[in-house]
């Protein structure tokens, strides 16, 4: 059993840093189903055309500490 999940992703070009988008592929769409079930969300945002490191987690406390 795992409560929280922490993932690092090298976000590719053309993918949206969001949990859902009705037009474009999202970083969540790139995850394996075994990780999607934890309902992670991106910490911060990268533009659609930006490539780079992106942290995804379902740990709201860590999210708040990093963002603030």
Indicate left, alpha or beta for 14 from its phi (over 0: left) and psi (-120 to 50: alpha). left
From the candidates 13, 29, 47, 59, give the one annotated as an active-site residue: 47
47 is catalytic: yes
User: For residue 50, how many C-alpha atoms fall within 13 Å in the half-sphere facing its CB?
Assistant: 10
Which sequence positions are flagged as catalytic?
47
């Amino acid at each position: 059993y795992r409560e929280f999940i922490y993932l690092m992703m090298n976000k590719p070009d053309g993918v949206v840093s969001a949990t859902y988008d009705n037009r474009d592929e999202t970083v969540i769409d790139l995850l394996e189903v075994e990780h999607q079930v934890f309902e992670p969300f991106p910490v911060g945002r990268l533009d659609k055309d930006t490539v780079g490191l992106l942290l995804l987690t379902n740990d709201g406390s860590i999210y708040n500490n990093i963002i603030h």
